[in-house]
Structure 1
């Protein structure tokens, strides 16, 4: 089974930043063994599928205690490029997969957007009951935030604002590969704040500017010495070597922000057209599926 065609924006916090009992629970998960980043998408898919093949099916991962494995990803601070003013750590940096909370939030969105026949075909319980249960789980997150945002089939272009285009990393594990960027939280917050201010001045508060505002608020909920990772995840399965060589998405997004600041509409248009052309193939795959 192919890895899900999902890209991720993750936050890795110092383990010491978590309060008890969560800190002890995460420490135990680290001791058991962190999830291999190459397997993260398949792991999430596997956990969710297991909730659906039980009798009766579970609505969300973790509805039964034994189905909540508390999986985490671990990152070494040395693998995060830093400038002198941007501290990351101490180790270990951990990113809980937060599957229960993320699944509940996704379910709330699905219930609000899907047509009645689709809801009826997918859900194992009545839609109103599913909504109540999902909202209850989401409300449990009021004092915290999920550490992972995900996007199917494509990468939201505002995400590229957070990272340094020059620090793209391609990692391999046999025939598998990952494409990701890592950056200190302080740098990510600074970049998103600047881009939001420029976007608000140039195009108003909607569209990409709204995404930047929401992303900035999300980042503020984590420890200032955390690390942020943008990972193409399973999308690399859709990309050929020539696609990856031609991919200048991060450079183009940063150039658009600079051009908006200098009122260079021609540069904005050219860069946006390049982005649209590159990601059009992946958007078409989403429509076909």
Structure 2
């Protein structure tokens, strides 16, 4: 299945995602029922990725030209974690010792990340309209379709109690600010098929991720207050603070992993910020050169013919 997923993405822009998985109790009661129902039917992660990709391609060629998702086939990704949080659980079980020293066996804790395609499509369309390609976007997505989709967004927000979006996406490279949330020692899954890396997923608990990004913000605020990354990190912090304290954050490299992994970007970003804080401009420049040599060629693919 993973090999089919990789081939299905051939020729498409590299897309990476930052996801937050929350415990069931973080969602409104009505949404909890829906998530449990979807979770009970959930297949492998590869199957979810394939279904989402095929649905998006289907919308492009759908009769009537409406590219927006309707929410009828929304999906959910599940993450089973051990008692420690971000670590992968065993086959459905995890354990601890009670006061008598006997080992207790407990079910692994399930966390949920809904796809929320209706909300995310609306945000993406708004960003497109406000960007330099706004006039072209207005031709491709008529006002009538945008208005119809806004009605779907209003219905979703009313049903699910707000507009918290659990997924952020980036094409043609991963924002350097995202790497501040992770370290090379964090739990990591490398998914391979047919001699290629399909994706790499790295995880951290929300509390740890927030602590790391807060330290980065503090260093940059003093050493480099004009750096664009400082604003990115501030926005990232505000987003993460919307979620339940027992959540887990996941960086999914997507198909770009085959081009860059093994990847020292989390280390290079951390070293660069530490060097700036210490006034070591030479060290900071060296860290940036390593990042640039790795990621600028990827971003240049966006303009390749």
Out of 151, 163, 173, which is 1:144 matched to?
163
Q: Which moved more, 1:13-22 or 1:199-208?
A: 199-208
Matched, 1:204 2:204: no
Structure 1 residue 45 corresponds to structure 2 residue 53: yes
The equivalent of 2:96 in structure 1 is none
- Using the size of structure 2 for normalisation, the TM-score is 0.79
Greater radius of gyration (CA): 2
Distance 1:216 1:138, change over 3 A: farther
Match of 1:85 in 2: none
Structure 1: runs of 5 or more not aligned: 83-88
**In structure 1, what is the equivalent of residue 198 of structure 2?**
177
Answer whether contact 2:48 2:75 (CA < 8 A) is retained.
Answer: no
- The residue correspondences of 1:1-289 to structure 2 (distance < 5 A) are 1-2=8-9, 4=12, 5-34=14-43, 36-62=44-70, 67-78=71-82, 80-81=86-87, 91-115=109-133, 118-119=136-137, 122-123=140-141, 125-126=142-143, 129-133=144-148, 141=157, 143-167=162-186, 169-175=188-194, 177-204=198-225, 207-237=228-258, 239=259, 243-245=260-262, 247-288=263-304
Q: Is the contact between residue 108 and residue 134 of structure 1 (CA under 8 Å) also seen in structure 2?
A: no
Aligned length: 270
Secondary structure class of the residue paired with 1:76: strand
**RMSD, matched Cα:** 2.6
Cα deviation 1:153-210 (Å, max 9, x = unaligned): 1000010000122226242353353212100010011111111122122222651111
- Cα drift, residue 283 of structure 1: 1.3
Q: Would you say the 8 A contact 1:179–1:236 is kept in 2? A: yes
- Give structure 2 stretches of 5+ with no counterpart: 1-7, 89-106
CA distance in 1, matches of 2:290, 2:193: 32
The whole-number CA distance in structure 1 between the counterparts of 2:36 and 2:126 is 30
Partners of 1:187 and 1:167 in 2: how far apart? 10
Normalising by structure 1, report the TM-score.
0.83
Task: Note if contact 1:196-1:213 (Cα within 8 Å) is conserved in structure 2.
Answer: yes
